[in-house]
Amino acid sequence: MIHRALKNELGDVFAITNHHEMASEVFFHILKNKINKGLSFLQIREKNLSKKNLITFIGQIKEVLKKTDVKIVINSSIELAYEFDLDGVHLTSKQLYELEKFPKDLLVGVSCHSKKDLKVAEQKSADYAVLGPVKKTPSHPNSDFLGWEKFRALAESSKLPIYAIGGMKKDDISISFDKGSVGIASQRDFWNS
């Protein structure tokens, strides 16, 4: 498993792209600024882009990050992770159950929402998990959320490095540590702060 070696290398913020909510020039300006401030872990997650536009976007990200140590994973596409020589793939909770095995030569993360999800992720040798939503979010306003105490109980039941997700803001980083997390995953606040 990769996760034991990476545990101390994972950043306290797992940034998730949110390109579709801002102009391209603005996104890349913010990305460069965040790199200068220590960004170390990025997930490309642009479900609204066509495959052609997603491929262009991946190329642009790789160009900006080529002389950095930022780890790049892509949401749900093992194929694109290999095609673009990315560090890994972030799998959906649905893929957690659909895939018999995870790639051994990629960093593999999984979106989890329950103790069962975390257990399966461990059994399949995921390298990290993203657990939530901890709070209500604009993207999932009608979803149940865990809250910090349930998050803590779930995080403490797992051996995986876990990021808290769902309404996370910069102020939640220290709280997430107290609740058993390695940090937060953020798709909105990270790009706006």
How distant, in Å, are the alpha carbons of 81, 89, 92, 116, 148 from that of 98? 18, 15, 10, 14, 29
Residues 108 and 102: their CA atoms lie apart, in Å, by 7
Looking at residues 136-148, what average pLDDT do you find?
Answer: 84
Q: pLDDT digit string (tens) for 57-77? A: 999 999 999 999 999 999 999
The domains found in the chain, sorted by start residue, are 3-192 (3.20.20.70)
Q: pLDDT digit string (tens) for 19-50? A: 988 999 999 999 999 999 999 999 999 999 99
Residues 139 and 67: their CA atoms lie apart, in Å, by 33
pTM of the predicted structure, to 2 decimals:
0.92
Contact in structure between 164 and 181 (CB atoms under 8 Å): yes
pLDDT computed for residue 1 by the predictor: 37
